[in-house]
Amino acid sequence: MADIAVKVHDLGKRYEIGTRGNGGATMLREALSNTFKTPVTKLASLARRLRSRGPATVAVSSVSPRHIWALRNVSFEVPRGEIIGIIGPNGAGKSTLLKILSRITEPTEGRVEIHGRVGSLLEIGTGFHPELTGRENAYLSGALLGMRKVEIDRKLDEIIAFAEIEKFADSPVKHYSSGMYVRLAFAVAAHLEPEILIVDEVLAVGDVAFQRKCLNKMEDVRQHGRTILFVSHNMQAITRLCTRAVLISHGGIQHDGSAAETAGKYLMASVKTGAERVWSEPLSAPGDGVARLRKVRVRDESGCTLDAIDIRRTFGIEMVFEVLEDGHTLSPAVELYNESGTCVFLSSDVDPVSRGKSRFRGTVTSVAWIPGNLLSEGLFLVTVFLSTVRPLKGHFHQRDAVAFHVVDSFAPDSARGDWDGPIPGVVRPLLKWTNEVSELAGP
């Protein structure tokens, strides 16, 4: 039996521009006047169709400026028990996809098959009413999210305890602090037991401790073999929780692969830099009369270009430059910046083969090897430059030439150890630890 939980086939959703949001509710007058206009437009399109002798083309409506495809030709399958991440820039169509999967809105075309009970968490505190007490809201929200009353009866105390609001369970939630409100809302959601859970950016709220609680709960859910579709902008959460992720942008799937790979693609797209950059036009390439940059890339030891790097693996930053004049002593260097713009290190060529030696015309490929278990996880931007050291003269200096993404795959042999939460720090070296133990008494 093919154990598929969600099957999405050729899904598309078209919005009529101007019908979203409150301002979009049309006036009756407009509708009435449209009723009279429509026959005219229909006749016109019929005439067009007759002239072109073809079938009514979809293109006519899709290029029409009154429509916008929020989602188009989206197909993927989610096997049972998988946690799949859905990432992409704002407005890419992620929320539309979740809304279709949660049956909140209908697709315009395509088909979805869902095997199992679905619970969706598209916001925190669905159905909460400010005048109702915490206890009452737990019932209301629980029922709306798909719990049975007997189920809520059974779990109510647990929910109240999880939310840590025992003292206030019987006061209206409008008197709650925002933290209490969010905790209660999440506690209700966390006690849902659907076979398929759809979660949208819920983790964006709350403090670090709370986010951690959410992540742990999802981990817990995963261990119970449930399927989760998880939308987030938090790439670390995605790579930590999901085995696979799809990147959605401009209403379509741009990439479908391992979570690390997809997160890398997304981060790269967001910095508009890839793992490889080639300057094919020698004249426009960075450089001067002495040397010009031709190519920079991030590679592994076997020579493959890659943008997502396992935190434990050695990899290299390779730059290829052309020497145009004989007799210069050239020193290539790389500089690494992390997501927050901190310089992680600067390193220049110390290879005895080339260090301090005069160069001759030709092409040079130099690689700076970065050992595994050095960088922490996240996105890194690479700046490369080439200079003559004595007297100091720069030949090229290319900022943000390439970018790559270090992924912590949660392997047991990484510097992470047994801790599964976020780890601060610019670097994450695997240090040698020693212990001396003096035991008081043996058994």
Partner 1 sequence: MPKKMAEDLSHGVSIASEVPPEVPVSDPPGLPLLITVIEPSRGWVPLKLSELWEFREVLYFLIWRDIKVRYRQTLLGAAWAILQPFMTMIVFTIFFGRLAKMPSDGAPYALFAFAALVPWTFFANGLTQSANSLVHSGNLITKVYFPRILVPMGRVLSGLPDLGLSLLVLLGMVWWYGLFELRGRLLWLPALAFLAFITAFGMGLWLSALNVRYRDIQHAVPFLAQIWLFATPIAYPSSLLQEPWRTIYSLNPLVGVVEGFRWALLGSAHAPGLSLAFSTLAAVVLLVTGAYIFRRIERTFADVV
Going through 288-412 in order, the beta strands assigned E by DSSP cover 291-300, 308-310, 315-323, 328-338, 343-348, 358-359, 362-370, 378-388, 393-407
Tokens of 187: 């506690």
Q: Tell me the closest approach of the beta carbon of residue 91 to partner 1, in angstroms.
A: 15
Contact 270, 241 (CB under 8 A): no
Contact 406, 376 (CB under 8 A): yes
Contacts of 405 (CB under 8 A, 6+ apart): 260, 263, 264, 267, 268, 307, 308, 309, 378, 379, 380
Q: Tell me the closest approach of the beta carbon of residue 24 to partner 1, in angstroms.
A: 6
Q: Which is nearer to partner 1, 47 or 104 (CB)?
A: 104
Task: Look at residue 202 and give its three-state secondary structure.
Answer: helix
Alpha carbons within 13 A on the beta-carbon side of 189? 27
Q: Which is nearer to partner 1, 36 or 284 (CB)?
A: 36
Q: Which is nearer to partner 1, 79 or 274 (CB)?
A: 79
Chain residues in the site for partner 1 (CB under 8 A):
15, 19-20, 24-28, 31, 81, 99-118, 120, 122-123, 126-127, 129, 131-132, 136, 139-140, 143-145, 148-149, 172, 195, 216, 219-220, 222-226, 240, 242-243, 259, 409-412, 418-421
Task: Look at residue 102 and give its three-state secondary structure.
Answer: coil
Q: Tell me the closest approach of the beta carbon of residue 281 to partner 1, in angstroms.
A: 42
The C-alpha angle 76, 77, 83, rounded to 5 degrees, equals 110
Q: Is 287 left (phi over 0), alpha (psi -120 to 50) or beta?
A: left
Q: Tell me the closest approach of the beta carbon of residue 6 to partner 1, in angstroms.
A: 10
Q: Tell me the closest approach of the beta carbon of residue 425 to partner 1, in angstroms.
A: 19
Q: Which is nearer to partner 1, 369 or 410 (CB)?
A: 410
CA distance 192 to 202: 14
Q: Tell me the closest approach of the beta carbon of residue 208 to partner 1, in angstroms.
A: 14
Q: Which is nearer to partner 1, 126 or 388 (CB)?
A: 126
Q: Tell me the closest approach of the beta carbon of residue 269 to partner 1, in angstroms.
A: 22
Task: Look at residue 320 and give its three-state secondary structure.
Answer: strand
Q: Which is nearer to partner 1, 16 or 301 (CB)?
A: 16
Q: Which is nearer to partner 1, 19 or 38 (CB)?
A: 19
